[in-house]
Structure formats: C-alpha cells, structure tokens
Amino acid sequence: MLNFMPKKEYLREVLIHYFILKKSAAESYRILQEACGKHAPSQDTCERWFKCFKSEDFDVKDKERTGQPKKFEDQQLQALLDEDACQTQKQLAERLNLAQQTISDHLQATGKILKEGKWVPHKVNERQMEN
C-alpha cells in the first residue's frame, strides 16, 4: 500500500458516494478499512455521518463546536511558575482558566515535578544542582 494518508474531508466525500450507492454505514466502514487501514474512520464515525446524510446534511467540513479546550502556550505556564514556583496545580489552573488535568499534563510534558512545594525540572543540569 502507498503512503497515502487521506484527509477527513476526502473520506467523508467517499462516504457520501457510498451513501448514494445505498451502501450501509457498516459496509462502507469495511470497504474503507480494507482500502485505508488505520487511516479509515471508525464504524461509529461512519454511522454518525450516514445519519447526517439521511437528514440531507452533506457538508463535509468540520463545524465549529462549543466547549473546545482553550489553547494556551507553555510560556504562560512557565511565566506563572517563574513568578511563584510554589503554586499548586489548582492555583495555576484557576489563574489560566483551565482544567487542573490540563495543567498536570503540561507540567508532566515539560518535565516538571513538585519537590518540597516547588515545581522543578525532573532532570536537573549541573548548574541547577549547585543552586
């Protein structure tokens, strides 16, 4: 198989084609699974799109959704930690207006751990060890 990774919109257009040919969502899923492998949409996704098509909604673009997670840069988090490294995850979450789990994930991704009430790098270099 080629290194072809289809875009979501392309796969949705293919689903419209199968819908017009009176294929079922399950059958369409099996065909796409065989053709695209791991890049194929899930069976639930195929069924959800077939419901849209049945209600005559053929728009394959992603729609704006409410409640998407607020995006922020790690620099904002780092600035708060530079300001006061003793803040809890809860305090950081409140100040950035984010979920505490989001803060936890970002701290872990940046290699920070809580030691003696301060957020410090998980791996320290020689200069940091001297301090």
**Local confidence pLDDT in tens for the 131 residues of the chain:** 456 788 889 999 999 999 999 999 999 999 999 988 888 999 999 999 999 999 999 998 887 766 655 566 678 888 888 888 888 888 888 888 888 888 888 887 777 777 666 766 666 677 766 76
**CA–CA separation, 84 and 113 (whole Å):** 14
pTM to 2 decimal places: 0.49
Q: Indicate the class that CATH gives domain 8-54.
A: mainly alpha
Per-domain boundaries in the chain:
8-54, 74-130
**CA–CA separation, 16 and 10 (whole Å):** 10
